[in-house]
Homo-oligomer: A and B are copies of this chain.
Amino acid sequence: PAKDTASLSTGQKYDTLQVITEDNITKIFLNRPEKKNAITLQMYKEIGLALDEAAKDDNTVITVLTGHGDYFCSGNDLNNFTNIPPEGKEKMASDSAVILEAFVSKFIDFPKPLIAVINGPAVGISVTILGLFDIVYATDRATFHTPFSQLGQSPEGCSSYTFPRVMGLSKAVEVLLFNKLLTAHEACKLGLVTEVFPDATFQKEVWGRLRSYGELPKNSLVFSKQLIRDTEKEKLHAVNVQECERLKERWLSDDCMNAIISFFQKKAKL
């Protein structure tokens, strides 16, 4: 069947993802289930590459990001902060900001319908980029959490712009500034999630619906997305740059350093 062949043929290309194209759909699976799909530096780059391929592929009408295992994604892998290069932590912070900005840009510019299939809890960057997706379907087991201020950090993924527009300002502030965790149903009421499905039937219902979307005229979808998005693209890129600038400063702050050290201390004690 398509799944095995595709999986084999792309198995060599990606270390951290599984990418399958079938039924006019490119499915990008985050594939570090043993680490709750935490995103490493390599993974940021591979997701960007997979999006580039899906954008170019003539057989791809719909593109989906989802996760293998229990989690959708536990966010930025904090080990990304522990490989401090010889040039010092300033270099690490500015390298990370470059990688993050490029990663988010891929979502801003993606030209075809982009759908998130949230198979479990989502944290940090895997939540903030959802405002750049066209549809977000979630299992009722999913939760959404962006504990930035708790970690001395600040929002990314254009969420400082998209979340207030989707949720209304004061609901977005609870999430982005005050670390409020949302259930799938809460996220749906706030408009971050398009629809919630019972976990037992989630995969079946969602993929069935996506197959029907894959049969629609591609150009109408692409041009309709363009009409909806193009008016905001420039703005979104500007927001992305500002958010990454701010994080570069935040990552070097005492607030953030102390929060990360305390995270690893707690982990070491387990």
Contacts and interface: CB of A to CB of B under 8 A. Distances in A.
How often does this chain occur in the complex, in copies?
3
A242 B178 CA distance: 33
A149 B217 contact: yes
Interface string A153-170: 111000011101111111
Given A150-B216, A217-B152, A217-B255, A224 B174 contact: no
Contacts of A171: 191, 194
A227 interface: yes
Contacts of A154: 220, 223-224, 227
A168 to B, nearest CB: 3
A260 interface: no
Contacts of A162: 169
Contacts of A195: 174
Given A150-B216, A155-B228, A177-B224, 15 more contacts: A134-B173, A149-B221, A152-B219, A160-B224, A161-B228, A165-B169, A166-B168, A169-B191, A173-B225, A176-B228, A219-B250, A223-B250, A226-B246, A227-B242, A231-B239
Interface of A: 113, 131, 133-136, 148-150, 152-155, 160-162, 164-174, 176-179, 191-195, 213, 216-217, 219-221, 223-228, 230-231, 235, 239, 242-243, 246, 249-250, 253, 255
